[in-house]
Amino acid sequence: MSLVIAIDGPSGSGKSTLAKRLAAHHGLAYLDTGSMYRVATVWCLDTGVDLDDQDAVAEATRAMPLEMVTDPAGPRVLLDGVDVTDRLHTGEISTVVSTVAVNLAVRAEMKARQRAIIDSERTGGRSGGRGIVAEGRDITTVVAPDADVRILLIADPTDRLARRAMERHGAADEKSLEATRDEVIRRDTQDSTVSEFMSAHEGVVTLDNSGMVPDETFAAALAIIEDRVR
Ligand code: DC
């Protein structure tokens, strides 16, 4: 059976960890839509496009030769045939990606591309029509409101900040927390001007994983999926 699972939530809520694990567990493809906004940023910087020039950024995004590899065991992002995955989470990109992500013409292009990937995986793309787990900020609401299961994954800001600091700096001490604060708090505020990912739309199940370890979040999500697709 082809299953489409959509997961939204703010930075540090644990979306990627959960989405990859669910995809592997159910034999589904995996799409990290945040990395599509990140690669658009890389593309603009590499081709000399001024990120404040909204029309130029939108035009560059539409022309971007992008391939998303949707294997949950090794998701990769290819730009003009070159694997740029390792460049996507550098501080240089994280600091400015929101400028690209709040560009409405960019969002329209991304929605079309994401929808095409989801439809292809649903009906017989690379994964043989098994389905997909897609995660981001507007997947449950704008990109795939028709998904079989829609989850909004949230957590307290202190938990989210600590998780991101561990991920980026390997520690959650005061210095690491401070270095991560911009990415989690300022960026979520900017991103929430164009997507609603702090409260669930009708039909979207909220999973608050504050204080939970990844195994507990996974178990809670499995229960939601079982309940929805029964
Ligand atoms: O999840 P992330 O940190 O990799 O996302 C990168 C940026 O893209 C971040 O500013 C949020 C934005 N984003 C978005 O606006 N819509 C999505 N579906 C996914 C990410």
pLDDT digits (tens, 9 = 90+) for 172-219: 999 999 988 988 888 899 999 999 998 999 999 999 999 999 999 999
- By most ligand atoms within 8 Å of CB, the mutation choice from 31, 103, 137, 182 for ligand 1 is 137
Q: Tell whether ligand 1 has an atom less than 6 A from the beta carbon of residue 160.
A: no
CATH number at residue 61: 3.40.50.300
Reported as a single tens digit per residue, the pLDDT across 76-115 is 999 999 999 999 999 899 999 999 999 999 999 999 999 9
Look at ligand 1, atom 20, and give the residue with the nearest C-alpha: 34
pLDDT confidence tier of residue 141, bands split at 50, 70 and 90? very high
> Which ranges in the chain belong to alpha helices (H)?
15-26, 34-46, 54-63, 91-101, 104-123, 157-169, 174-181, 187-191, 214-229
Number of neighbours of residue 136 by Cβ within 10 angstroms: 27
- By most ligand atoms within 8 Å of CB, the mutation choice from 31, 33, 90, 164 for ligand 1 is 33
Look at ligand 1, atom 18, and give the residue with the nearest C-alpha: 136
Q: Residue 150's pLDDT is what?
A: 98
Average pLDDT over residues 59-84: 97
pLDDT confidence tier of residue 17, bands split at 50, 70 and 90? very high
pLDDT confidence tier of residue 145, bands split at 50, 70 and 90? very high
Whether residue 151 is predicted with pLDDT greater than 90 in this model: the reply is yes
Write out the DSSP string of 71-136: -TTS-EEEETTEE-GGGTTSHHHHHHHHHHHT-HHHHHHHHHHHHHHHHHHHHTSTT-S-EEEEEE
Question: What are the φ and ψ backbone dihedral angles of 14, each rounded to 5 degrees?
Answer: 95, 20
Of ligand 1's listed atoms, the one at least distance from the Cα of 98 is: 10
- The DSSP secondary-structure symbol of 3 reads E
**Closest CA relative to residue 40, chosen from 99, 90, 91, 81:** 99
What torsion, rounded to 10 degrees, do the Cα atoms 27, 32, 33, 37 define?
A: -150
Look at ligand 1, atom 9, and give the residue with the nearest C-alpha: 98
Average pLDDT over residues 31-47: 98
Q: What angle do CA 181, 204, 118 make, to 5 degrees?
A: 85
Look at ligand 1, atom 6, and give the residue with the nearest C-alpha: 34
Are 98 and 190 spatial neighbours (Cβ–Cβ below 8 Å)?
Answer: yes
**What domain range is 121 assigned to?**
3-229
Q: Tell whether ligand 1 has an atom less than 6 A from the beta carbon of residue 38.
A: yes
The pTM score is: 0.95
Burial class, 98, CB count within 10 angstroms (exposed 0-12 / middle 13-18 / buried 19+): buried
Q: Give how many domains the chain has, as a whole number.
A: 1
Q: Tell whether ligand 1 has an atom less than 6 A from the beta carbon of residue 137.
A: yes
Question: What are the φ and ψ backbone dihedral angles of 65, each rounded to 5 degrees?
Answer: -85, 85
Distance from the alpha carbon of residue 230 to the mean position of ligand 1, in angstroms: 31
Q: Tell whether ligand 1 has an atom less than 6 A from the beta carbon of residue 114.
A: no
Distance from the alpha carbon of residue 137 to the mean position of ligand 1, in angstroms: 6
